[in-house]
Structure 1
């Protein structure tokens, strides 16, 4: 029986609690705390003040029993009543400070998640990083899960650790002093030695957990992706009656996930045993430390009441010091989770930075997102030209076989180009190279226009519909804050919806600005989706429109109407398609023949000029 494919991107090194973890965690902290005056830094400082105050209150509460022993032994009613009142005030203060502590930690969690996620979004959506990461680079599994789920869990775990970590240096120092004062050097030395032994033991036990947690998160992402794949393609799967096959394949991913989870649980068992053993033995250690000065006769001169009060006070000091160390050991399980998520997020950041460095070397659009006011630093060229190709050769990033070899031409305004060829000859790949999604193998490709209304727009083979209102579908990828093609004109939008043949959407959605509660892909037919994308194209009205089989789901009559509208709006068309009916709308035909060969011919009735090439065939 076949098993699910293993990730191609799994790195050779296994995540662990090592120096790499420290580096990645420090990088993330620099994102979360960009300056001393950032909101996170201010909240952290406030948390430090609250926890310090809380510890002072806890100390006063902790020594109250020793005072009670004294007043009860002396039958001091007035002193007892005063202590009860003091205890009530301290308890109220302590509970309030604990609540404020938790509130600040929750606020820090939200702030950290916002800061870290937005930082990852900045890199993810910069240039075409999201495309390269999801399509071309395989060393990072499930980037969507890392950005959404792993960031959330990392910030949650760090926020739960924050108050304990921030106060530990102060409490350990303070109670070490009191322990030394009460028991001599034997107390602090015993407790510190016990902590060192426990730390080493838990470090050994945590080692296998980190890598297993990373593997579990990868399989969680794979399992979730399989369900998303079925949800998005439910109708296609239903036409194949493939419920049993998908059931089996989904169960494979579930079984792989559960096996890894069982392995993680088994490894965590030994860590839990170590942590719990350390906790309970610590309680006995405190009594041993307290007993030493008693049995050596240091307190022989005290009355039973005074000795009881002193034992109570010393017990609190020693137990709280041990408890401080115990809390740090208890963080072992949380730290292993933090290490796993840190490695996954750190890997994602490093790969995205690597992609950005490589893209910025040659990508004319690397510096911006979809700002149509910007020329994206495109290479200067003739004003009436969109693309210049000079001996261009290209291939798929996943194959060594050339799709096209030494292609030379110039795509100029007013002359429409039709690209044809059998499946697999590189038609869509040519558009990927033109749009710099893929690198050329050799030769030269130059884009001399910007993206948008004053330049070039691509209509991909698979229509892309964003979430949002009908207006947002039409103006996409313009943003409301960047209406660079002019003010959003309702009449124009309605007119272009009618020209595209989808004016009925106005009634179905309730208007241009009404929020819809359904998925556009589930409601619209393939033909309606293509028509809606043409309405978008009409609204944006670029000089050059590159269409990748953009009318494949429409009739030839509907196709003719849409193409005529494009030409009437002044667009120069570069089309990919199989239908012979497209020829009458174009002047020049580029035929990709396979094995790197290509032919460039002028179609009948063309107006001449426009496309310049060096060889008729290659």
Structure 2
């Protein structure tokens, strides 16, 4: 017991003597309640008093910095813990079992705004409502002039001549306003970069002091300074981690802003994702591999720009701080020599820097080509298997892979000589010059005074050497950033090209890639922002579908001078517009959803392949332009028109319910008051209710699968009719919608459309469908067409010819029966 009390007494005396040795503070006679207040007051007085001992003042600064960072860490942790506690109390997460119910994730409002519902907790029942303002199309219309082509100037080895202009434009998307959160993240990052440099100065001085203590044999001071070393290590580590976190967070925020900006133009009501194929720069690798550009290039660009900012800001700050401090030790001559060395090194490295921007851009294009071809293999596996095309596909994939490897190796190959030069100059030459500059004050002092104070000279040399090495490291990182900037130029150019094309396509003045001048028929490089190529008029809200003098022309760079399929097309469905719209879908209740809504009119469009039948549907859907000035297209509202393409589309990773109600989302389906029993009734109408037997009743509606592979061709086409029955549009356009369906089912589905009195247009090559339609539009294939009422004598004659053809086939029934009997006998003998 006596030994234990003696040890405790020694420890107490040591702790009381430590503040005196470290800070010159005598704590004897100070009560424990006033201890912390006394220490903090003494630390503050040491920092503010310029006459206090230098050693004590430095130690006081280290202790206060450590305490400040510790308090900030503890305070942020406590605040976060209180926030989580209040959130759990508010949502009732404690002591409550999770409730399983449907929750809306996102709802699109009529004005284009989005409402998102974000859960407070994984098992929480309540949701936080987040309102996202509608996107402003006027902003994109205004911004498109910023993304015009900046000109073809010869790129330098360091920058593209247009690099800074491109970056300044893209920066408006990354940091849209001065008060944006990304601005604050940049400010915090700069603060921590300055803090890291400042702490580096402390570490350098403390390093020299520790070496001095060791050389002079002062063990007590060595232990005190070593304790200060461990104290300063905490804020230094905290600062380094904060810089890395802020850099990553800033990169993610930049990616969010840029991706949302791209998505708002690429995926909107103007169908930019479709019209990109008609842009006059569609041959660009950026647009040809736009999926790779939106995913990989955006990520690489955001990572690169944040990395370059940190790699430039940190060395610049280090150069300023270390140069100011070293000027007092090395003098003006030493600092001038250091910066002359930097300029010479920068010139040499710039002179021998390879064109990494171009090489990186080519490598990204090769990656996109390789990725896209694999995606094509995935989407067409069955067709390739039927053709046994493995050998051809392997050859193509290997060629793309070899080209990708060639581009990737080319980047590394051109770096070899540059890396040799860079390492020799930055690592070894600068280190040798650092020793020279660090020895200047010692040599000058010793030569002028004739006295060699080894302890002081050792401390000064260690401090100057450490700062010189840090200064050399800052300069080397600044020189290394030349290579990073060269790579950033490649990513910037690809992102700028992507945004420029998206703005051009998203514009209301988009002319589908036409690049001719109407006066002299010469290519105009900037004609993509003119409206001269597309002159037709579109009337929306019409109670029908009407074509007036429309030339059906394939969109191309030749505009209205391109390939014409149909000349001056004119028709109208219904022949007399319906004037009474009181029974529109928006005004009928759910019990009347499947009731007939007025008379139906129908038209059949016939013609050979390539005659322009599907092109008529594209014009109706407003995804192809009207070139002639006197052409007029009148279409109903978007809710009253439903276009069915040749290939039925099925959303990837969606439920069976999602496939039926497409393009409506499940959230909108439930919010509008729809029930699953409506879908079951519709499946029964189109003879697909047997699919529900594959699961446990209606639960099959929640099944998730790759439905384009699960359903057969006929089932996929009948799903289109199920969508028609669900959405109940007043006008439907069907393009080869029954070519994979048996004749009896085809007859049933067309009679179903007539029974519910839909107005529909059918595009087909089979005259046998005439019996389901009121009008027939015959496309001859040489720009001519003929519209006839199927109740006229001419139409009756056409039908009679079809009947005669069918009768001729019926006469051969007996012969076919005999052949069938003979084949059956042969099989019996086998």
- On whether the aligned pair clears a TM of 0.5, the verdict is yes
Deviant stretches of 4+, over 6 Å = 11-16
Q: Unmatched 5+ residue regions in structure 1?
A: 1-10, 363-376, 609-618
- Output the CA distance in 2 between the equivalents of 1:456 and 1:587: 19
Residue-pair matches, total:
579
Aligned counterparts, 1:339-350, within 5 A: 339-350=489-500
Q: 1:64 to 1:327 in 2, by over 3 A?
A: same
- What's the offset of the Cα at 1:180? 1.9
1:221 maps to which residue? 368
Aligned counterparts, 1:404-483, within 5 A: 404-412=566-574, 414-442=600-628, 443-452=630-639, 455-467=640-652, 468-480=654-666, 482=668
Equivalent residues of 2:620, 2:635 under 8 A apart? no
Of stretches 13-22 and 193-202 in structure 1, the one that deviates more from structure 2 is 13-22
- Output the CA distance in 2 between the equivalents of 1:438 and 1:381: 19
1:379 maps to which residue? 539
Rg larger for: 2
2:402 maps to which residue? 255
- What's the offset of the Cα at 1:527? 1.8
- Output the CA distance in 2 between the equivalents of 1:433 and 1:177: 70
Aligned counterparts, 1:497-576, within 5 A: 497-508=683-694, 511=699, 514=702, 516=704, 518-576=705-763
- What's the offset of the Cα at 1:522? 2.5
- Output the CA distance in 1 between the equivalents of 2:692 and 2:341: 73
- Output the CA distance in 2 between the equivalents of 1:509 and 1:121: 37
Out of 242, 246, 254, the position equivalent to 1:100 is 242
Equivalent residues of 2:251, 2:306 under 8 A apart? yes
1:118 maps to which residue? 260
Equivalent residues of 1:541, 1:569 under 8 A apart? no
Q: Which has the higher contact order (CA 8 A, sep 6+)?
A: 1
- What's the offset of the Cα at 1:217? 0.9
- What's the offset of the Cα at 1:358? 4.8
- What's the offset of the Cα at 1:228? 0.8
Equivalent residues of 2:361, 2:491 under 8 A apart? yes
Of stretches 424-433 and 40-49 in structure 1, the one that deviates more from structure 2 is 40-49
Equivalent residues of 1:214, 1:340 under 8 A apart? yes
1:612 maps to which residue? none
Q: 1:96 to 1:506 in 2, by over 3 A?
A: farther
Equivalent residues of 1:183, 1:290 under 8 A apart? yes
Q: What secondary structure, in the 3-state scheme, does the structure 1 residue paired with 2:739 have?
A: coil
- Output the CA distance in 2 between the equivalents of 1:540 and 1:15: 55
- Output the CA distance in 2 between the equivalents of 1:577 and 1:65: 86
1:295 maps to which residue? 443
Matched, 1:322 2:481: no
Task: Give TM-score, length-normalised by structure 1.
Answer: 0.87
Out of 31, 34, 47, the position equivalent to 2:173 is 31
Deviations 1:233-292 (CA, angstroms, capped at 9, x unpaired): 000111111111111111121122222222222222233233323321221221122233
- What's the offset of the Cα at 1:201? 3.6
Equivalent residues of 1:470, 1:509 under 8 A apart? no
- What's the offset of the Cα at 1:546? 0.8
Equivalent residues of 1:397, 1:438 under 8 A apart? no
Q: Unmatched 5+ residue regions in structure 2?
A: 1-150, 513-536, 578-599, 796-830
- What's the offset of the Cα at 1:515? 5.5
Aligned counterparts, 1:154-193, within 5 A: 154-193=301-340
Q: 1:298 to 1:470 in 2, by over 3 A?
A: farther
The CA RMSD measured in Å over matched residues stands at 2.7
- Output the CA distance in 2 between the equivalents of 1:561 and 1:179: 92
Equivalent residues of 1:485, 1:540 under 8 A apart? no
Q: What secondary structure, in the 3-state scheme, does the structure 1 residue paired with 2:179 have?
A: coil
Out of 61, 77, 82, the position equivalent to 2:219 is 77
Out of 473, 481, 503, the position equivalent to 1:353 is 503
Deviations 1:277-336 (CA, angstroms, capped at 9, x unpaired): 332122122112223333343675451010010011111222222211211222233323
Q: What secondary structure, in the 3-state scheme, does the structure 2 residue paired with 1:417 have?
A: strand
- Output the CA distance in 1 between the equivalents of 2:569 and 2:155: 46
Equivalent residues of 2:197, 2:321 under 8 A apart? no
Matched, 1:602 2:789: yes
